[in-house]
Amino acid sequence: MRQIALIMFVVLIWATGCATSPRQATVKPPPAISATASVSAEQGPFQPDANLYLCPNATITNALAHDSRNRVLNFNPVVLVDGKVVITPVPVNNACMTSGFGHRSGRDHNGLDLKSSPPGTIYSAAPGIIREAKYSSGFGNYVVIDHGQGVFTRYGHMAHLARGVQSGQKIGFGQPLGVMGQTGNATGIHVHFEILTGNYNTPKRSFGLTPRNPLSFPPYTGQASGS
């Protein structure tokens, strides 16, 4: 069932990607999160954008190839992580990237920083089970989702978490997790998004996993070896 749902959303992306004209300068407001909404294991309303743009004045230390409109070249809106799990590497709409994965100011930056104006809704990047939904001094309000096969995602600095987002909750692709914010150690409103792999069952939990560059994976072409 998971495979079918994923294939459906891939088809949706391709359909919208073909129909979409070049990105407008105006930014649509994010869909409101209903006060009564609660996340579920079903597929949610999110559809990934076909393109990713660098923000004006972005500090992308590991320079990404981009065109004159700051559109990242060779961007894949749906990728296959280690041949096993289908994920969108940008789980927000109408966002630009302020910072990429890699070395930054003498430290490693373990994810992508994405922002939109007004602050946008953040969605689950693939189906899975929520393992962590809490506050830390570094990530602020953050969520970690276990996608199976040793693949995880983290979403940090959220203003607040969506209703029903709690540890142990099963969640489908594209369900709202919360809204971009500046909680924890953040210099501006954005989401910090990580793709992580490894063994979760160590004392360090998600902090013992290996961060991977979300933009380093090959496009999903309809074949996943996992089940």
Site string for Zn ion, 109-128 (x = CB under 5 A): ----x---------------
**What's the min distance (Å) between Cβ of 167 and Zn ion?**
22
Q: How far is the CB of 109 from Zn ion (least distance, A)?
A: 6
- Cα 195 to Cα 128: distance, rounded to the nearest angstrom: 13
Provide the β-strand partners of residue 210.
197
154 binds Zn ion (CB under 5 A): no
Token pair in block for residue 26: 């105006």
Phi, psi (5° rounding) for residue 207? Answer: -80, -5
- Backbone angles phi and psi of 96, in degrees to 5: -120, 165
The residue length of the chain stands at 227
Helix (H) or strand (E) holding 60: none
Tokens of 203: 């004392």
Shortest separation between residue 23's beta carbon and Zn ion, angstroms? 23
CB of 38 to Zn ion, least distance (A): 28
Query: Which of 2, 66, 147, 192: binder of Zn ion (CB under 5 A)?
Result: 192
Question: In this chain, which stretch among 25-33, 137-145, 164-172, 191-199 interacts with Zn ion, using CB under 5 A?
Answer: 191-199
- Residue 146 in contact with Zn ion, rule: CB under 5 A: no
Residues at the contact surface with Zn ion, assessed by CB under 5 A: 113, 192
